[in-house]
Structure 1
């Protein structure tokens, strides 16, 4: 069975449940009070068939506001899957890439992450659970998840006999009090007491130094503006006046992170990928969930350098430690643009379970299939069409999640096959999932192709205010009824006024010329002239221009007819059939002088004999 046959068979099997249910036909929609035009909110009408890389939808593309520019050479390098070494034995959720051995590559922890990734059962079966000593040791041993924190090797690990003693914590508050008050007698007594208690203790060297209290709030205010250079300059100014003052450790650490973030962002914008990695490795504490953009930039740097194994580790680290659903989704979407498909597929398996039985990134997992169906709708290309099993899972996903967008996509697939009945069923189901004008438009189009013009008109009349495309369908249906010699569709009394109003609002050239021919047939040339003129002003079409030519010819307005032929004859061949008649010029008497030789009078008549002199 060919790919085309397998695809159609799988989708037809899912469609059958709708076709055998009479309640899914347009009458059900007509009686459904929930599908009222005033309740429909019209989204972008082109979103259903957009490719995943360009769609503004949740599963269609990466957040454009966070995407950073990259050179075309980098993009080409990232898309070269053929040179990528893939581990054929890797399981979903594991790193499928073999390390490139780059000196810049951080080594991820060998142990499992603290947050357990859930793998969809549809992709891999449940793994066997072991309760041996090795598992207990792995749980008891703390594991670093930061991709820039290397674990100690076995040789570096301290033995059980090597125990480090924590430094003594001696309370010297009283000692500093006596030093500040210059009470040397009590100061000496306190020092002897502490030496007796802690023989190895030594008094601090700055015991008699006076501490200076500096308000750091102005520094934090400058830091909040992101002006890190000014913070450093202000710290230096304060220390020049107070040499013994030191800023708080919190300020110093956050300032360091802020400066590192700025350097990484600048290097990313300029495509200096190695600088991105070296800067991040110098400050590993920046690789935290609060610095998501930095982590994305680091992962991108690895991917641009074709170090896909380490790029995957960074994405894996984010999904294993960070909980923000929007950030997690954006992480997988960004990975989908930079990693080969094997990496994206493995990351999708890390999606957490959802209450409806699906998983967190299940919808993204169907992006490739959506792209293939969209490619067929546009080009009829079956070269990359997926197997029937993938299509069956997709249909199950659509039905389980009530995805109106995907149901509409399947409807357009059948529409491109001219399978009007199946397309109609899927469009109706999509309309039940969500009152989207695009699915309503699909219902109207399929009804027209099924020669159910009355049902199509009724649907278009009800929902024509929902979107310009549905209004266009209404105009096309009524225009056909007005201009056909034997119209199969009977218009209602209110349709005339409604139709003229909609045509004017939409500035429809088709509707304008249809009204022009209607009034011309009824003998009302003035109104016909108006509608033909409006139609041509909105968009010059052959029907509108020919209408004006007919009116000009009947009125013997040859100047207007000539102007139409000059302007539109090369575009509309119908104008060649119109003939322009020019009146014969009046005979002009001779202006030469006449000489009268003689005048003879005969019976009351005068005869003139003339000679030309």
Structure 2
């Protein structure tokens, strides 16, 4: 054979191949935008591992570029019959099929005519080529279209029209597709019906039965493909529900026609599978695809809401950038942005190191104001409390409580009020929900303990004291028991205080402040044996407790050695638990840990203390009616009258008048009558006057209660507190209770400077506790001011250091 015929044959074969490729491209490739994705899914194992998901384009490809720049590998959503708004860069996708799907993904197109034979191509007959292309025009299968029309399934009908238009651009739907037509094949129609209801196994059984009966019958390719896709979708959903994420990805990779806007639920499940297998970037890409191509507003919003569960804020920001703004100016993702703000503010509310942005806080504040539920107000309050904006936190908790009354709100409000110094309101807020759970019970115990720890002690109703004591005893809350002990001690109830200090040490044997308080109680009660037991156990561990056992400590005065004693002191080798039966308390007195009233061996209001010579004589006096509005002079109060019969202002004036006449007991009664006035200013002035009267009468504990019964300005509050602590220090010194003297002087030094007379009291207290270096330092400092008394004290100290025993300081002065 010559060379020329060989080249002619090869050329003819090449021309025929080119023509065939053009025909196939016209009927399939050019009109099927999902072909690239399916080709990727069907890649050989050498180029794409089995079960791997075809690469989804990165997010930036869907960020608004021209459509020509987009190369999606996911099957695109169908182009609807009527024009619809599509985001920049979106490409219509092929719809999936199956039960619940909108339309088939890729119905088989009519096979093209066979390519021309090599001889025909070699002849170069143009007419023959044109005839071949004409005969290659595809035949549109409208079986599914007419079936959906007969069933009245509008959604699937529209999706099927869109699919056919995508496959066959020159095709137009028939005008009579919804009109009743005769069913040419009732058996096939029944198979379609089984498919449309999701009964795929029944449809396949019907196909197998007909093939067995009619061997020559051919199953429509479209029906088989639809069944395959429907079954794949069912497997994907089942795998997703079972959290078999790799299986979800494998099915999606093998069935790319499922991944379209016509079945967003499948896309959501695939995105979730990506996120669950640590491929959040791929999950983000799925979200970008949906927001770029899919149009349903509800599905778009749900896409972002679901993405919040597994995408970071940075990845979510890419999705939010595709937000559409409505005619009212409101973005379609406004609700999601608020949810995101809630998430970030909630995280910052749990971690003080995190700070929410002003924009997020503004969103939550607006939602809290506009809403009707308490959730946003509680969230904002929690954040503000964590970041120490306590005042605003309390306001938001109070707003939340107007909408709901829950344990969480009560707990937050109680902590906020407690931090603001409103302990009584905090206790009331926490009490109702104290038994709602461990957190609320702890909150109540904390605020109740803070209320009891106020100095000076506040005047409380008997019912409030009783319920706090009951809760503290039931919880065996050692800090609360300790503060109840101090509250009882400072209100003149040392025996009740001893019982609570005992309870605190029983529940927390290493609580040194409770041991110190117990020692002071025993010392005040004159219980020598009990005091020595405390000193024996605690002296080596606490210097201030050891100091109580100095040689000058008074011996027992009342014979009350059978006092409450914690097991850790009475028997250090064995710790026993106490029982706390609850009882109702109806007196304004601190009940014991057992709930019973304590009969004090000493009166709550002790007589005026014996002043320790010159130092006490020089102590500052409380003064008369300064700041109280004065009185009417002696002539207005020289007679006797019941103050209860006077008006509030008249009783107040009489009180100042009596105080000027140095009749403090009568003045205190008049001020007490004035305190019943409804005027806040009058109540404050009367409380201040009564405190001064009680102080002048030597009723220090009563003065402390009166001072806390009504609000006072800072100047009055500091003045009263200073005088109360001064009198307590002097009373303790006069009673030879030197450790307690130093305790009160230290408290006083925090709010006011010490004068020379009190410094001398401090120095002699150190002296009697054998703390000679501290005593010398104080005496030297006072002597530097020219005090002769301090010089005599230094001389006494020097003689003791030369060998004399330390004696009673008052005998040496």
Please give the TM-score of this superposition, normalised by the length of structure 2: 0.36
Bigger RCO (CA 8 Å, 6+ sep): 1
The structure number with the bigger radius of gyration is 2
